[in-house]
Structure 1
């Protein structure tokens, strides 16, 4: 039962963080390009890369952290479905260049962010 509570708490925190980060970025940079979702996705990639690597290498850390952070928090914080919807909406609006830039940028930068987070996890004692 404890793991479900941890997932729920992590999910609640991830949902709140997703809304706050996404809306803060969108409020500063506008909504023509979905900067808020892009930043949320990239930070989620760093966090999951770091947490899965770091927690996987540290047997002394409680498994509870695996339920709280990568499953709960990142599960709610990550916005891949929103990314797909915004790409489709941008294409439907006729902005094919922006849609392609967003889709490719999210993929390439997201992969780099996961790799960077994983490297950070490997560097930690």
Structure 2
């Protein structure tokens, strides 16, 4: 049953990531990968809220598989983040490559903690 939950979550997360990426990148005329950044930060915040809900026992282990492993696993993408950072570096945009690496990690952790704090305040 959990395989199905992961598959269902992933079936929503993957196209959602693509839609977020394309809609945000279409609005920015820059080499910085804002779309991937936004998808990753969104997923980190969702995971923080979910973690807080599980800790408060208002979400179940099945919710973790559906939303945490499936949805967030497909929504966030370390491989695209890594590829885009390397591409920026190879294209000579070293500042943007470094900014992408540092800001993505810091903002991702920050979003996770904000989501967790939000969840703990609500639940």
Shared fold (TM-score, shorter chain, > 0.5): yes
Distance 2:3 2:62 in 1: 10
Q: Does 1:16 align with 2:15?
A: yes
Aligned residues: 123
CA contact (8 A) 2:5 2:65 kept: yes
CA contact (8 A) 2:45 2:112 kept: yes
Task: Classify the secondary structure of the residue corresponding to 2:116.
Answer: helix
- In structure 2, the residue matched to 1:99 is 97
- In structure 1, the residue matched to 2:63 is 65
Distance 2:39 2:24 in 1: 9
In the TM superposition, what whole-angstrom CA distance separates every residue of 1:26-73 from its partner, at most 9, and x where no partner exists?
Answer: 111135110000101111110111111212321x54332111000110
Q: Which runs of no fewer than 5 residues in structure 1 stay unpaired?
A: none
CA contact (8 A) 2:13 2:74 kept: yes
- What's the RMSD between the two structures over aligned residues? 1.2
Q: Which runs of no fewer than 5 residues in structure 2 stay unpaired?
A: none
Structure 1 segments (4+ residues) deviating >6 Å: none
Distance 2:97 2:59 in 1: 41
Distance 2:80 2:30 in 1: 13
- In structure 1, the residue matched to 2:6 is 7
Distance 1:30 1:4 in 2: 40
